[in-house]
Every structure is written in structure tokens, then in C-alpha cells.
Homo-oligomer: A and B are copies of this chain.
Amino acid sequence: MYAIKWNGDSVVILDQRLLPLNETYHTYTNYMDVLYSIKDMEIRGAPAIGVAGAMGVALAAKNVASESVDEFRQEMNRIIDAFASTRKTGFFLFIALNRMKSMLDTPGGVRGIRDAMEAEAVKIYEEDIEINRTIGRNGSGLIQDGDVVMTHCNAGALATAGYGTALGVIRAAVEEGKKIEVYACETRPYLQGARITALELFRDGIPVTLITDSMSGHFMKAGVIKKIVVGADRIAANGDTANKVGTYTHSVLAREHGIPFYIAASVTIIDPDLKSGEEIPIEERTVDEVAFVGREQIAPEGISIRNPSFDVTPAKNITAIITEKGLIENPGVNGASWILKK
């Protein structure tokens, strides 16, 4: 099972909306399909979206027929902007698209740019897996043998090019021989925890227990949860972290109960231009994600619904941010952007 693969002249994407019952892969040769795949959340997770954006652009470079370098660049810039407007909170997408954009300066005409874009997309993909493995190694020491670790949403293999960030830390701890049990919050409205995290861990043979999101406080108070590890979509310079909505709620409960609360993420998503989390743009998605679960309509017609996809956890609620460059301990005091200079 994987979220995305590059096939030379096509992109293969797992339709995560159909999980856990159907494992269906789509093969796209047109960049517009990749764009809608991101928009409609066939593929999701900040790193996976970044990889998909890069591969979508590489595919577009093959789709755009012009042999005039100027015309080609103009069209590619338009397409890159279109990808940038699909999801606004995650930062990895913008980083990946900027890397793709810089390939437009490659010499060798349109063909040279095309080849460079393909190579860069594959590089972004491969680097992400390597980054995640390093995050896993850097974070696994924080997890003790016998821990019950809670996570929210899916920051696993299917949210990334592979291995995962938060689940990468758990995988690395398990690979070291530690016995770990995971409590997965189902993560309404999109149910990434129930549909994706639970499935990923079950297939890996890591014991997983599913709970609804609002049960987290109950199981923290009961002493069941020993650690919390989640991913991130964007981190401000001061360490404030945007992640799937509900993360902030869990972080307050973790502090109330003295439970370590870890973010696992690449330094790539630290946005040094944002002073604090207040400045992180929060995507608000269609209300139908809340009103329907699959075909089931759960809300009456006519009412108002809110659906912010992310929330911001203040740095003070975070015990440490686990990155490929090491730990950012106590970001509430130290901030996060210093690690970029490391």
C-alpha cells in the first residue's frame, strides 16, 4: 500500500477516500487529474500533497506541447500556481512547487526543463522517505517499551511518500523491538484515523485501538495514554504548529494530564516568514464533509456548519518537535526556526 508513485509517464495515486474497504489506485497521465486528486483529497497529508504537486507539475511538463521555452515557462508557471491554490495550509506543497519552479531555469530547451522537472519530482519523493526514516530514528528514543501512544489524523506512510512522520516514529520504535500500542483518534470529519491510520498499523501488525476524537480526554484521565505523537502541516518560526483540526484540543488535554505531546515533521515545513501561528492560513473545506459520512446524511438540511480543516497548537503545548535534523525541545521557549540554520 502506498499513496503515490511516479511511473515515468504517469502518476499512480491511491484513492484514500475509498479506504479502508477498497484499495483502488488511479493511473493519471493528465496533470489536471492529479490537481483534482489533491483538491478532492484522494491524496492527503502535507508531505504526500507536496510530492503529488511536484509529480503533477512534472506530468504537466510532458502534457504542455509548446517547443518555445518562453511559452512553455509561461504555461508551466500558470499550472504551478493552479497547484498552489489546491490546499492552502500545508507548507510542503509550496516548498515542492518552488523547487519545481526553479527547474524552469534549466538549460537545454523545453526538453531539458522537462527532464529536470521529472528528476526533481522523483528526488522530492525519495528525499521524503529518507527524511521520514531519519525523523523516525530521531524520535524513537522518546517512546518507551510498553507505551500506549495516541495519534490524531494520519501522519503515516499514506500521508507521505512513505514510512510516515508520526507513524514513522512509532514504526522506528517498533523496529527497535519496543512493544507499542497505538490509540488512533478517528479524526472527524474525514476520518483519516479510522480509515487510514488504523489500517496502516493493522497491516504492519502494530496493535491499534480506535477511539472517537472526544474520548481522548477520558483515556488520558484514565492513565491509558502515555505519549502523543502527531504530524504537522505548517510550523511558524516560534514553533506554533498547524495540524489537522482537533490537534489543539488534544494538546490542551495532554498538558492538563502531564502527557508528553510531540510533533513529528520535516524542517521543510517550518515557515520562517511566519512569526506565529496566528499568521498560518486555515483552510475551510466544504460543509458536506461534516454533513455526510459516505452516503449517510447525518445532519438536517438548512443548518449552518463549520469545517476548518486545521487548527493551531501553540508552541507552549508542545514538548518537542521531532525533525530530521534532531529534536526541537521546548519550542514554547526556544522557538523552532533556529533549527533551519543547523
Contact = CB atoms under 8 A, between A and B. Distances in A.
B298 A295 contact: no
B306 A219 contact: yes
Interface string A310-322: 0110000000000
A189 B296 CA distance: 14
A296 B297 contact: no
B245 A256 contact: no
A212 interface: yes
Given A188-B214, A248-B217, A306-B215, A202 B253 contact: no
Contacts of A311: 215, 217-218, 221
A218 B308 contact: yes
Nearest to A310: B218
Contacts of A295: 294-296
Contacts of A186: 188, 290, 298-299
Given A21-B297, A218-B248, A210 B290 contact: yes
A198 B300 contact: yes
A71 B219 CA distance: 47
A77 interface: no
Interface in A185-206: 185-189, 191, 194-195, 198-199, 201-202
A201 B306 CA distance: 17
A210 B249 contact: no
A191 B245 contact: no
A189 B303 CA distance: 20
A82 B304 CA distance: 41
Nearest to A314: B221
A329 to B, nearest CB: 23
A309 to B, nearest CB: 10
A65 interface: no
B246 A214 contact: yes
B299 A210 contact: yes
Nearest to A282: B218
A193 to B, nearest CB: 9
A215 B245 contact: yes
A216 B311 CA distance: 11
A340 interface: no
A282 B184 CA distance: 21
A289 B316 CA distance: 36
Nearest to A219: B306
Contacts of A245: 212, 214-215, 218
Nearest to A300: B20
A120 interface: no
A299 B212 contact: no
Interface in A148-177: 152
A199 B250 CA distance: 28
Contacts of A209: 303-306
Interface in A25-52: none
> A-B pairs with the 6 shortest C-beta distances?
A214-B246, A217-B249, A294-B296, A20-B300, A213-B214, A293-B293
Given A214-B245, A219-B306, 4 more contacts: A188-B212, A209-B305, A210-B299, A221-B248
10 contacts: A186-B188, A186-B298, A188-B214, A198-B300, A209-B305, A212-B290, A214-B246, A221-B311, A252-B256, A253-B253
